[in-house]
């Protein structure tokens, strides 16, 4: 985690320095203006730390607006950097005046920001149907899988309403949440938990802990999830309706932060009834190969589809089983990864729209 934070801030400093150089090389800028730009970029570079501090102190309204401004700026300046690099490379083929290069970069950045923010509201419903002899022929089980709402200063009621609309339409037998539901101080926002509690499927709701539940404070996060009506599976397996095993493990990041975690999926699954269809809930889409004989389906999140599609299709598919959708791990063994509903960073996505997953398990004869 410390290495990730260090890498991020080194990258974020580089991004701001690029923006500073792009402005000062494109326009005639006075010494006073350069100093103003330096102060501005120093503050915006530090803004992620500032809003997290406000959030931890319980300064709800201050943290909300600070977080929104900081994260929108973060998305803008990162897009500006990526777009500027592309325009600079294009300029090697067809030279552009510095001012035109800047204006082209700025225009493309604004278009990308507007579209990317709008995309966060384009919730998709990903549907998968799996047949299994472990469920009686003619019987169907519908599961609503949600992940990564990142409820906090920025992700609020609108994200929950998106999920509730799907829940009311689909009427699933059970709901599962695979982590990062909480991403901030929600002590003054328990009405969000009450909104989630409106989902009351006949076979119950189950959740696991993601890395952001630890960052927000584990006890606080667990309290919120329990109020929302979720049974939190931390290294345990339960039998549901006599048809399913539902198991859950913690995200391993908690151990680095000093928490006691339950991450050994093999140990958990060994205690499950082998005759029942077994679902493993976990946050990260990584699976112990030794556990495959004991499970049928893994449901996970965390990836966000990379947020930017090219990150998902390249880097994340190296780090994880997949960044989205379904993948067969072994004959008859699958993992399904949700791109999540919210965002943990800028409220922007590029060709990786949010989703919830509806899994239908259909019984068949041997």
Q: Mind giving me the DSSP string for 56-95? A: HTT-HHHHHHHHHHHHHHHHHHHHHHHHHHHHHHHHHHS-
What mean pLDDT value characterizes the chain? Answer: 94
pLDDT exceeds cutoff 70 at 234: yes
- Residue ending a domain, choose from 68, 97, 119: 119
Asked whether residue 190 falls in the same domain as residue 318, the answer is yes
Asked whether residue 7 falls in the same domain as residue 96, the answer is yes
pLDDT exceeds cutoff 80 at 287: yes
Quick one: pLDDT at residue 223? 95
**Residue-wise pLDDT tens digits, 54-91:** 888 888 888 889 999 999 999 999 999 999 999 999 88
The residue-averaged pLDDT of 274-292 equals 96
CA distance 140 to 244: 12
The residue-averaged pLDDT of 136-150 equals 96
Asked whether residue 113 falls in the same domain as residue 175, the answer is no
Asked whether residue 170 falls in the same domain as residue 277, the answer is yes
Quick one: pLDDT at residue 189? 85
Quick one: pLDDT at residue 1? 59
pLDDT exceeds cutoff 80 at 237: yes
- Residue ending a domain, choose from 84, 119, 154: 119
Quick one: pLDDT at residue 365? 81
| pLDDT top residue among 236 and 256 | 236
Domain limits for position 42: 2-119
CA distance 323 to 265: 20
Quick one: pLDDT at residue 166? 98
Asked whether residue 306 falls in the same domain as residue 241, the answer is yes
pLDDT exceeds cutoff 80 at 3: no
Asked whether residue 180 falls in the same domain as residue 39, the answer is no
**Residue-wise pLDDT tens digits, 157-200:** 999 999 999 999 999 999 999 999 999 888 888 899 999 999 99
CA distance 342 to 346: 10
pLDDT exceeds cutoff 90 at 99: yes
Quick one: pLDDT at residue 271? 87
Asked whether residue 15 falls in the same domain as residue 43, the answer is yes
Q: What percent of the chain has pLDDT over 70?
A: 99
Quick one: pLDDT at residue 95? 83
Asked whether residue 53 falls in the same domain as residue 97, the answer is yes
Residue of 77, 79, 69, 76 whose CA lies nearest to 48: 69
- Residue ending a domain, choose from 119, 136, 164: 119
Other C-beta atoms closer than 10 Å to the C-beta of 212 total 24
């Amino acid at each position: 985690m410390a290495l990730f934070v260090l890498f991020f801030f080194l990258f974020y400093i580089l991004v701001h320095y690029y923006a500073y150089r792009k402005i000062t090389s494109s326009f005639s800028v006075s010494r006073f203006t350069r100093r103003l730009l330096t102060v501005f970029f120093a503050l915006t570079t530090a803004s992620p730390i500032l809003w997290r501090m406000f959030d931890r102190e319980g300064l709800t309204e201050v943290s909300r607006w600070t977080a929104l401004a900081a994260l929108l700026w973060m998305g803008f300046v990162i897009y500006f950097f990526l777009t500027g690099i592309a325009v600079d490379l294009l300029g090697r083929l067809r030279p552009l005046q510095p001012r035109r290069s800047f204006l082209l970069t700025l225009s493309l950045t604004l278009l990308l920001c507007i579209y990317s923010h709008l995309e966060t509201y384009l919730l998709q419903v990903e549907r998968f149907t799996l047949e299994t002899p472990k469920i009686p022929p003619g019987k169907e089980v519908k599961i609503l899988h949600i992940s990564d709402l990142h409820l906090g200063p920025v992700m609020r009621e609108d994200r929950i309403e998106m999920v509730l609309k799907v829940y009311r339409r689909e009427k699933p037998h059970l709901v599962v949440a695979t982590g990062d539901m909480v991403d901030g101080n929600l002590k003054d926002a328990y009405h969000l938990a009450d909104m989630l509690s409106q989902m009351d499927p006949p076979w119950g709701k189950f959740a696991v802990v993601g890395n952001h539940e630890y960052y927000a404070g584990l006890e606080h996060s667990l309290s919120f999830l329990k109020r929302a009506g979720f049974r939190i599976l931390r290294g345990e397996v339960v039998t549901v309706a006599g048809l399913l095993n539902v198991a859950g493990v913690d995200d391993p990041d908690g151990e680095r932060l000093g928490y006691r975690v339950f991450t050994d999926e093999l140990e958990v699954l060994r205690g499950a009834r082998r005759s029942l269809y077994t679902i493993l809930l976990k946050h990260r889409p990584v699976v112990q190969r030794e556990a495959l004989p004991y499970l049928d389906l893994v449901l996970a999140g965390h990836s966000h589809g990379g947020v930017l599609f090219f990150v998902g299709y390249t880097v994340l598919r190296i780090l994880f089983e997949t960044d989205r959708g379904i993948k067969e791990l072994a004959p008859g063994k699958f993992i399904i990864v949700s791109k999540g509903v919210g965002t943990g960073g800028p409220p922007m996505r590029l060709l990786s729209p949010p989703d919830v997953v509806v899994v239908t398990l259909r019984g068949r004869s041997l």
